[in-house]
Chain A
Amino acid sequence: MKIQTKKITVLALFSAMAIIFSYIEAILPPIWSAIPGIKVGLANIVTVALLYRFSIKEASIVAFIRIIIIALLFGNAMTLMYSIAGFVLSIAIMAILKKTGMFSTVGVSIAGGVFHNLGQIIVAMIVLQTKEIGYYMIILAITGTVAGILIGIAGNLMLKYSSKRRL
Chain B
Amino acid sequence: MLKSDGLKKVKNDLILVGVICTLSLVGFLIFKLTMKDGNRVSVSINGEEKYSYSITDNVETDIITGNNGENNNTLVIKDRKAYIKSATCPDKICVGHRPISKDGETIVCLPHKIVVSITEGK
Give chain A's interface residues, CB within 8 Å of chain B.
30, 33-36, 78, 102-107, 110-111, 114, 124, 127-130, 132-133, 135, 137-139, 141-142, 145, 153, 156-157, 159-160
Q: Are A107 and B24 in contact, with the CB atoms below 8 A?
A: no
Say whether, besides A127-B113, A145-B17, A156-B2, A132 and B104 are in contact (CB < 8 Å).
yes
CB contacts (< 8 Å) of B28 on chain A: these are 138
Q: Are B2 and A104 in contact, with the CB atoms below 8 A?
A: yes
Q: Are A138 and B24 in contact, with the CB atoms below 8 A?
A: yes
**In angstroms, how far is the closest chain B Cβ from the Cβ of A60?**
23
Chain B CB within 10 Å, residue with most, of A78, A124, A132: A132
What separation, in Å, do the CA atoms of A25 and B110 have in the docked complex? Answer: 19
Q: Give the residue name and chain of the B residue nearest to A36 (CB).
A: B93
Q: Are B44 and A130 in contact, with the CB atoms below 8 A?
A: yes
Q: Are B24 and A141 in contact, with the CB atoms below 8 A?
A: yes
Q: Are B9 and A107 in contact, with the CB atoms below 8 A?
A: yes
Give chain B's interface residues, CB within 8 Å of chain A.
1-2, 5-6, 8-10, 12-13, 16-17, 20-21, 23-24, 27-28, 31, 44, 47-48, 91-93, 96-98, 104-106, 108, 110, 113, 115, 117
Tally inter-chain residue pairs, CB-CB below 8 A: 100
What separation, in Å, do the CA atoms of A30 and B1 have in the docked complex? Answer: 31
**In angstroms, how far is the closest chain A Cβ from the Cβ of B89?**
11
Q: Give the residue name and chain of the A residue nearest to B106 (CB).
A: A132
**In angstroms, how far is the closest chain A Cβ from the Cβ of B81?**
16
What separation, in Å, do the CA atoms of A105 and B2 have in the docked complex? Answer: 8
A and B contact pairs by CB, cutoff 8 A, 30 listed: A33-B96, A34-B97, A36-B91, A103-B12, A103-B13, A103-B16, A104-B2, A104-B9, A104-B12, A104-B13, A105-B2, A106-B10, A106-B13, A107-B10, A107-B13, A107-B16, A110-B17, A124-B110, A127-B47, A127-B113, A130-B44, A130-B106, A132-B106, A132-B115, A133-B106, A133-B115, A138-B24, A138-B31, A145-B21, A157-B1
